[in-house]
Amino acid sequence: MKDVLLRIEGIQTNADGEESIIEMVTEGKFYNKPNAIYLVYKETELSGMEGCVTTVKLTEKKIFLKRFGPTVSEMIFEQGKRYAASYSTPYGDLDLEVHTKRATYAISDANKGNIYIEYEIKLEGLTESKNRLNIQIM
């Protein structure tokens, strides 16, 4: 385990083309396991998910993102694939469909690197958004 600094940028574009950008820098933990790399960090008020802990798991072909706390979600990102996901909030549960357009990462031997994901979300047929997530491990 290694303490790391993370710069996280999330950009969401709604059906009307309006962009919402969230940027934050936070401390996290980096774990290099035999079959996966893990990043664990606490969400802040800035992300709108204060009190949640996010775990990003990097495997050879997939990126997993899990959140625990007041909001619970699990998303799987694999380039060109669609996955069902769930999103539990204090106000109720929602079903999502996540379609990954691009999912890449590069991590150096010094445990620094970048994770980039482009994906679309359909939320119970109610709303659609295009999303980009960029996590820089510094």
For the chain, how are helix, strand and coil distributed in percent, rounded to 5?
A: 0, 70, 30
- pLDDT confidence tier of residue 6, bands split at 50, 70 and 90: very high
Do residues 101 and 118 make contact, with C-beta atoms less than 8 angstroms apart?
yes
Domain ranges of the chain: 2-137
Identify the pLDDT of residue 73.
92
Alpha-carbon dihedral 50, 137, 111, 43, rounded to 10 degrees: 0
- pLDDT confidence tier of residue 125, bands split at 50, 70 and 90: low
Condensed to tens digits (0 to 9), the pLDDT of residues 53-101 reads: 999 999 999 999 999 999 899 999 999 999 999 888 888 888 899 999 9
Q: Which CATH number fits domain 2-137: 1.10.1040.10, 2.40.128.20, 1.10.287.3510, 3.40.50.10330?
A: 2.40.128.20
Q: Which residues pair with 67 in a beta bridge?
A: 54, 73
